[in-house]
Amino acid sequence: MKQSVVFSLLILTLLLVSGTASGDEQTDSAMLKTLYDADQEARSAENMAAGIVPTLQEERDRRFTALRLIAEGRLATANDYFHAGMLLHHTGTIQFDDEHFANLGTESKLLAFFLFRRSHQLGHKSGRTMMAAAYNYYLQACGEDSGKYGYKFEGHETIWRPNVDGEDLDTLKCGFDPRPYID
């Protein structure tokens, strides 16, 4: 448990110091774009329908490369943060049978949440929606009911789902309330 908290704090610290986009012209990371495209292709409707799913090693390779690029401070643009967020959002999940996916951990979902947040702050049009999706998956990875505590999607809007039982979010096993981070 302590290692998980330390890991999360380390990654969040790396995100804060990994560079920010300014008004200067910056180019997207070609490596992140390549990894993102491979991730999307691996999850295409055609591949899924054909039963072609990414291997655990392919997922690990993409995740490790994304983490390395974050640690090296190589994320600069809204697309970079979005692509890294999607890689971590996806690569913590593997298919374990014909219909179900298994999550390998919660940290990648939480990190994806913050990467999507940064992409949103830098102007990525899908950043906020993916923040909400990452949070919902984070809840599920923690064994919580995202239908009760998470976000719902209506068109292009993400709406905080009110807690119908009046329970405080502090009672969640995850212990993370995203509302202060939603701009």
Q: Average pLDDT for consecutive 10-residue bins of the chain (183 residues)? A: 48 48 72 95 90 85 94 97 94 60 73 94 92 86 79 74 55 71 65
Q: Is-contact 148 163, C-beta < 8 A?
A: yes
pLDDT at position 12 is: 47
Helix/strand/coil for 182? coil
Q: What is residue 102's predicted lDDT score, i.e. its pLDDT? A: 59
Q: Considering the domain boundaries, does residue 21 fall inside one?
A: no
Confidence (pLDDT) at 22? 44
- Residue 16: inside a domain, yes or no? no
Residue 17 lies in a domain: no
Spell out the residues 6+ positions from residue 45 whose beta carbon is closer than 8 angstroms to its own. Answer: none
Give a yes or no: residue 20 inside a domain: no
What pTM does this model have?
0.76
Q: In the prediction, which pLDDT does 55 show? A: 82
Residue 9's pLDDT is what?
A: 44
Compute the distance between CA of residue 135 and CA of residue 127 in angstroms, rounded to an integer.
12
Please report whether residue 23 resides in a domain.
Answer: no
Q: How many domains does the structure of the chain reveal?
A: 1
Whether residue 13 is contained in a domain is answered as no
Task: Identify the pLDDT of residue 175.
Answer: 72
Please check whether residue 15 lies inside any domain of the structure: no
Q: Determine the structural domain holding residue 150 and report its residue range.
A: 2-8+28-181
72, part of any domain? yes
What pLDDT, on a 0 to 100 scale, did the predictor assign at position 6? Answer: 44
Provide CB contacts within 8 A for 16, sequence distance 6+.
Answer: none
